[in-house]
Amino acid sequence: MRFSIVTPSYNQADFLSQTIESVLAQDYPNFEYMVMDGGSTDGSLDILRRYDRRLKWVSEPDQGQTDAINKGFRLASGDVFAWLNSDDTYLPGALTEVAAFFEQNPTVGLAYGDIRTVDRAGRLIKSRAAPEFDADLLARTDFIPQPATFFLASVWRTIGGLDATLNYMFDWDAWIRMASVCTVRKIPATLAEFRFHRQSKTVSKAMQAAYEGIYIVRRRYRQPSGWEDSRDFGLNVLRSVGRAVIWGLQGHL
């Protein structure tokens, strides 16, 4: 089983080396790794040049994160795909764990594990245990942790990749479409770390992400009432802002 890992990146020099090292240090032998840089001007290219012989990378203007991921997977040759954002990291042994799971569960097309949330310095903020897969729940809320999610290349091609019209909740949209064409299961392991910092979309674009998720993505697959939309939009924003305030006071931002 061969993995294809894509990292979309733009001006993330502060974290890019840690992300790259977390992939290259995996003990699973059969994977390819590509970094799709959007034309960074912050020193990212100097970092990428240091890894010339160990990964593939491209630096050119793109149409954003979804475009970068789609371009990367069009170049991919693996059996299992995943993308890892340029401020997140894999935990040691993650690919070995995922490969064993897919080999033991040959009917599964999309699999996800648990994640840990860390701050800018890599200090643990909290561990997050995702629920077992539930299609009805997924239609209401995105509970699948993107950094710990892997899927068959055939499933990716069946759904036609990410929707490039979405800027924030394209992963949720993709999970829903994948779940309609394949079996989804949870891997009982913590696979990745999600970095929570001041520049991340989770913090800086909380309202825009909540709007796109509630009023665009969810409405494609459900028909909630206006009251339900308004309630959930407000709750999403309050949770995001609340986390930022609390974790900021604790020194994590």
pLDDT in tens, the chain (253 residues): 999 999 999 999 999 999 999 999 999 999 999 999 999 999 999 999 999 999 999 999 998 999 999 999 999 999 999 999 999 999 999 999 999 999 999 999 999 999 999 999 999 999 999 999 999 999 999 999 999 999 999 999 999 999 999 999 999 999 999 999 999 999 999 999 999 987 777 777 888 999 999 999 999 999 888 899 999 999 988 988 888 888 888 888 8
Ranges of each domain in the chain:
3-196
- Residue whose structure tokens are 């897969």: 133
CATH architecture of 3-196: Alpha-Beta Complex (3.90)
**Dist CA 105 CA 215 (whole Å):** 35
Determine the pLDDT at residue 203.
72
From residue 159, give the alpha-carbon distance in Å to each of 47, 50, 74, 177, 234. 33, 35, 13, 7, 31
DSSP-assigned states of every residue in 54-114: TSEEEE---S-HHHHHHHHHHT---SEEEE--TT-EEPTTHHHHHHHHHHH-TTEEEEEEE
Determine the pLDDT at residue 184.
98
Distance of CA 37 to the CA centre of its chain: 16
pTM > 0.75: yes or no: yes
Cβ–Cβ under 8 Å, residues 175 and 149: yes
Phi-psi region of 223 (alpha: psi -120 to 50; beta: other; left: phi over 0): beta
**Paired tokens of 38:** 């959007």
